[in-house]
């Protein structure tokens, strides 16, 4: 047995041994902390010690015992993959945090990295004391507890969710894919079709809108057209197989596939069926888009087709010329992604990317393009086309129609510049 | 309603066999009736015409006092903004390079002010103000924007009657409004 004798190992060994000694008897934070310290120290050792022809350290002793983590967390080597929270905001009660899109694969966002937008903080709600009230233009106003909601026939669907301000139109633009469009995530949602719940109360003539209200400190309120409520809208209680996280509306949220994020009311406590929208603050003074002539667009529900390359993307660095897969995500509030085009020559020519099956309605779609980088500077970008034939526009095309006072619903193509040293930056910045 | 009637018929048998407290018109018999008092306690929605505004009233001068105590720390003593949104001014700026969106310049409907303040403000203690205080603060903010006289008092009727300057400037969603020709080569 060849025992490494470098200083790093000497420092690491005591905590590793302590961890092994205590690990069999204890579960919980203390053991995990000891284990992490040991592993981090191990990681700092000379790289070659664990490489061929040597036998790696982690094969020479048993690993963590069963029960070291009662709820699993990522490897300590992935501790940098966290939500992207803006620094130095004036306050964090009404604020947003972004998904690190450039660090993720596939189309499903882990629950712990799902983007967040709160208007009055994250409430801690006891599900036993949570109620959903359904009233207004219905035959029979009803109140449901969470056990009631879960008695309805359930369904599971994969849908993306995107904040409407993702990103804004004015500079400065962000550096990374997360900075630009990280208010975007995708999950498998389980709950009940809203249509079934509305039918339980019986819709009356003249029912054209449903006003949804959250049980948070903002009592956030949005008006939803009845057509959407009777189509694919859901009342959701689980996300990616487990109950909703508090940040995502525990114990109950509205899910309106393809509609701007804030309409998917979290901590849902009330649905009022009405003939007219309520014209709440969040659908008049906010989430409306100013045009150059001073008019403002209201009730702009759908998030239009969009895509972004997540690798290579801003903040990353290509190691050497040669093969590099280009990959990213595309989505559309209007349905399935039909095609994604990628350009590697600053938009002079485009080629069709491969789409990863399954391509789902109103879900993220992963695209890929094999690419050989010649080591010279390049600009790469992607362009999504959805099943309606709609083509994702350039930022210049968007700005020429909407101007830069428009705040929400920016679905522009976002190009990345790759320098000859491999560094990737925002080509629009 | 054709769809619902079909649905009701489809599930009538199931509802009868597993009926609890719900009537036969509910396909699944899930949930319990909401009483009028329960609905009244939770339904705080005020629409753009002021429907459901509560009794009571508040003066601009009382609103000034409440604003100084409850709002000024975040929104500024004159509603000029700070940690919280700017509330005052900006009229005539919406079509310029630097639009200033405030209650006075941007909000289309005055009753929304009551609705939002009551449900969400002050941020550290929402739903803590009395209806009278909410009327008063609404009156003061409208006064700061030159939309209500300094000696005025607001109630359900007078708040609903206020016409906001930007009322007619909202348009419906015209998208898709931007076209990309999807050029493939020689672009």
A22, β-bridge pairs: none
Measured between beta carbons, which residues in chain B are less than 8 angstroms from residue A151?
28, 30
Q: Print burial letters for A100-130: b (CB count within 10 Å at least 16), e (below 16).
A: bbbbbeebebebebbbbbbbbebbebeeeeb
- Residue A295 falls within a domain, yes or no? no
Cα distance between residue A397 and residue A412, in whole Å: 8
Together in a domain, A116 and A63: no
A271, β-bridge pairs: A134, A212
Q: Cβ A391–B31 below 8 Å, yes or no?
A: no
- Residue A301 falls within a domain, yes or no? no
Check CB contact of A134 with chain B, cutoff 8 Å.
Answer: yes
- Residue A49 falls within a domain, yes or no? yes
Check CB contact of A152 with chain B, cutoff 8 Å.
Answer: yes
Min Cα distance B9 → chain A (Å) is 12
Together in a domain, A145 and A185: yes
- Residue A90 falls within a domain, yes or no? no
Give, for all 187 residues of chain B, the pLDDT tens digit: 344 444 444 444 444 434 344 444 689 999 999 999 999 999 999 999 999 999 999 999 999 999 999 999 999 999 999 999 999 999 999 999 999 999 999 999 999 999 999 999 999 999 999 999 999 999 999 999 999 999 999 999 999 999 999 999 999 999 999 999 999 999 9
CA closest to B123 among chain A residues: A120
A 163-222 residues with CB < 8 A to B: 196, 199-203, 205, 211, 213, 217-221
Residue B114 and residue B159 in contact, taking contact as beta carbons nearer than 8 Å: yes
Together in a domain, B19 and B67: no
Tell me, rounded to whole angstroms, the distance of Cα A322 from its chain centroid: 31
Residue A270 and residue A280 in contact, taking contact as beta carbons nearer than 8 Å: no
Q: Cβ B175–A300 below 8 Å, yes or no?
A: yes
A 355-384 residues with CB < 8 A to B: 383
Check CB contact of A133 with chain B, cutoff 8 Å.
Answer: yes
Four-CA torsion A320, A322, A323, A328, nearest 10 degrees: 50
pLDDT per residue over A96-105, tens digit each? 999 999 999 9
Together in a domain, B64 and B123: yes
Together in a domain, B6 and B68: no
Minimum-distance CB partner of A397 among B3, B126, B178: B178
Cα distance between residue B23 and residue B32, in whole Å: 10
- Residue A87 falls within a domain, yes or no? no
Together in a domain, A63 and A139: no
pLDDT per residue over A263-309, tens digit each? 999 999 999 999 999 999 999 999 999 999 999 999 999 999 999 99
B 43-62 residues with CB < 8 A to A: 43-48
- Residue A84 falls within a domain, yes or no? no
Which residues span the domain enclosing A43?
A: 7-78
Cα distance between residue A162 and residue A182, in whole Å: 9
Residue B69: partners with Cβ closer than 8 Å, 6 or more residues away: none
Q: ipTM value, please give it.
A: 0.88
Joined together, the tokens standing for residue A335 give: 């349905």
- Residue B41 falls within a domain, yes or no? no
Together in a domain, B110 and B151: yes
Check CB contact of A99 with chain B, cutoff 8 Å.
Answer: no
pLDDT of residue B136: 98
Based on the structure, what is the number of domains in chain B? 2
Tell me the CATH number at A351: 2.60.40.650
CA closest to A296 among chain B residues: B170
Check CB contact of A156 with chain B, cutoff 8 Å.
Answer: no
- Residue A387 falls within a domain, yes or no? yes
- Residue A263 falls within a domain, yes or no? yes
Minimum-distance CB partner of A142 among B31, B94, B170: B31
Together in a domain, A236 and A373: no
For A123, phi and psi rounded to 5 degrees?
-75, 150
pLDDT per residue over A329-368, tens digit each? 999 999 999 999 999 999 999 999 999 999 999 999 999 9
Together in a domain, A173 and A231: yes
Residue B86: partners with Cβ closer than 8 Å, 6 or more residues away: B75, B76, B79, B80, B100, B101, B102
Check CB contact of B183 with chain A, cutoff 8 Å.
Answer: yes
Instruction: Say if residue A184 is exposed, middle or buried (CB neighbours under 10 Å; 0-12, 13-18, 19+).
Output: buried
pLDDT per residue over A95-142, tens digit each? 999 999 999 999 999 999 999 999 999 999 999 999 999 999 999 999
Q: Cβ A285–B106 below 8 Å, yes or no?
A: yes
Together in a domain, A129 and A259: yes
Tell me the CATH number at A270: 3.90.420.10
Together in a domain, A226 and A366: no
- Residue B45 falls within a domain, yes or no? no
- Residue B46 falls within a domain, yes or no? no
How many CB pairs below 8 A link A and B?
Answer: 203
A197, containing H or E segment: helix A194-201
- Residue B52 falls within a domain, yes or no? no
Together in a domain, B20 and B99: no
Which residues span the domain enclosing B110?
A: 57-169
């Amino acid at each position: 047995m060849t025992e490494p004798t470098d200083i790093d190992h000497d420092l690491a060994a005591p905590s590793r041994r302590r961890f092994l000694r205590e690990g069999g008897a204890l579960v919980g934070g203390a053991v995990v902390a000891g284990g992490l310290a040991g592993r981090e120290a191990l990681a700092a050792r000379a790289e070659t010690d664990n490489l061929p022809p040597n036998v790696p350290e982690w094969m020479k002793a048993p690993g963590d015992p069963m029960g070291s983590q009662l709820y699993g967390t990522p490897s300590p080597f992935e501790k940098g993959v966290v939500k992207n929270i803006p620094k130095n905001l004036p306050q964090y009660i009404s604020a947003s945090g972004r998904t690190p899109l450039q660090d993720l694969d596939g189309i499903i966002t882990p629950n712990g990295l799902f983007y967040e937008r709160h208007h009055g903080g994250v409430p801690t709600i006891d599900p036993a004391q949570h109620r959903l009230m359904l009233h207004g233009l219905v035959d029979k106003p009803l109140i449901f507890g969470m056990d009631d909601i879960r008695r309805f026939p359930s369904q599971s669907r994969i849908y993306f969710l995107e904040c409407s301000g993702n990103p804004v139109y004015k500079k400065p633009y962000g550096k990374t894919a997360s900075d630009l469009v990280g208010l975007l995530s995708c999950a498998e949602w389980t709950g009940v079709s809203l249509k079934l719940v509305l039918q339980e109360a019986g819709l009356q003539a003249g029912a054209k809108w449903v006003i949804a209200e959250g049980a948070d400190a903002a009592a956030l309120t949005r008006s939803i057209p009845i057509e959407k409520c009777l189509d694919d809208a859901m009342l959701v209680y689980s996300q990616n197989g487990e109950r909703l996280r508090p940040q995502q509306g525990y114990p109950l949220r509205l899910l309106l596939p393809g509609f701007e994020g804030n309409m998917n009311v979290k901590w849902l406590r009330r649905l009022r069926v009405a003939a007219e929208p309520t014209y709440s603050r969040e659908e008049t003074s906010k989430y409306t888009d100013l045009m150059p002539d001073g008019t403002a667009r209201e009730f702009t529900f759908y998030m239009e087709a969009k895509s972004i390359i997540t690798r290579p993307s801003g903040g990353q660095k290509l190691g050497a010329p040669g093969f590099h897969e280009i990959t990213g995500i595309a989505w559309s509030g209007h349905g399935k992604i039909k095609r994604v085009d990628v350009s590697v020559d600053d938009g002079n020519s485009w080629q069709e990317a491969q789409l990863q099956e399954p391509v789902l309605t109103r879900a993220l779609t992963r695209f890929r393009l094999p690419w050989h980088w010649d080591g010279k500077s390049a600009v790469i970008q992607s362009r999504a086309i959805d099943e309606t034939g709609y083509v994702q526009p350039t930022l210049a095309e968007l700005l020429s129609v909407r101007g830069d006072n428009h705040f929400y619903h920016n679905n522009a193509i976002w190009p990345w510049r790759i320098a000859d040293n491999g560094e990737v930056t925002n080509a629009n910045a | 309603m054709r769809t619902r009637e079909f649905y009701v018929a489809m599930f009538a048998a199931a509802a009868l066999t597993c009926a609890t407290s719900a009537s036969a018109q509910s396909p699944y018999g899930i949930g319990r009736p909401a009483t009028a008092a329960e609905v009244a306690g939770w339904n705080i929605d005020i629409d753009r015409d002021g429907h459901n505004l509560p009794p009571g009233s508040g003066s601009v001068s009382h609103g000034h006092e409440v604003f100084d105590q409850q709002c000024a720390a975040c929104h500024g003593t004159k509603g000029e903004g700070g940690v919280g949104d700017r509330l005052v001014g900006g009229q005539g700026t919406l079509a310029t390079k630097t639009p200033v969106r405030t209650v006075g310049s941007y909000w289309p409907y005055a009753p929304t002010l009551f609705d939002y303040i009551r449900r969400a403000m002050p941020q550290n203690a929402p739903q803590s103000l009395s209806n009278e205080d909410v009327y008063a603060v609404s009156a003061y903010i409208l006064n700061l924007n030159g939309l209500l006289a300094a000696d005025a008092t607001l109630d359900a009727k007078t708040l609903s009657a206020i016409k906001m300057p930007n009322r007619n400037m909202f348009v419906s969603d015209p998208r898709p409004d931007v076209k990309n020709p999807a050029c493939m080569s020689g672009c």
